[in-house]
Amino acid sequence: MTRINSSKASRIFAGMIAVLMILGVLFFSFYISSELEHNCTGGDCPICASIQQCENVLHKIGGGIALAVSIILPVLLICVLIYISGNDLLQATPVSRKIRMND
């Protein structure tokens, strides 16, 4: 029996959470679009209440995504720029190539 190390387990868990969030967003979006033209019974309409709850969840998820993108995107761009410029800074020298220099 093999054991799953914690980093692999956390990646699997994060992937499952991402899939569940995507499915939730799709379900809420389809529910709102299908019930948009319902026969409203007034102030105590259960369909309007559930549509309001779906919209609240979508706004909360959207706010978290915008915050994550605004933080992660600049960090990724800086990492890519460092990687690209790092290739130019590291030049091949005889020492880095381990060439023996006998006089």
> Are the CB atoms for 13 and 39 separated by under 8 Å?
no
Location of structure tokens 């990687």: 83
Q: What confidence category does residue 72 fall into, taking pLDDT thresholds of 50, 70 and 90?
A: confident
> Are the CB atoms for 32 and 61 separated by under 8 Å?
no
Q: What confidence category does residue 98 fall into, taking pLDDT thresholds of 50, 70 and 90?
A: confident
- Of these ranges, 39-43, 60-64, 88-92, the one predicted with the greatest mean pLDDT is 39-43
> Are the CB atoms for 35 and 51 separated by under 8 Å?
yes
Coil, strand, or helix at residue 4?
A: coil
User: Which conformational region is residue 30 in: left (phi greater than 0), alpha (psi within -120 to 50 degrees), or beta?
Assistant: alpha
What is the pLDDT, as a whole number, of residue 1?
47
Q: What confidence category does residue 41 fall into, taking pLDDT thresholds of 50, 70 and 90?
A: confident
Question: How crowded is the C-beta side of 63, counted as CA atoms within 13 Å?
Answer: 6
The mean per-residue pLDDT over the stretch 35-57 comes to 83
- The chain-wide mean pLDDT, for the chain, equals 77
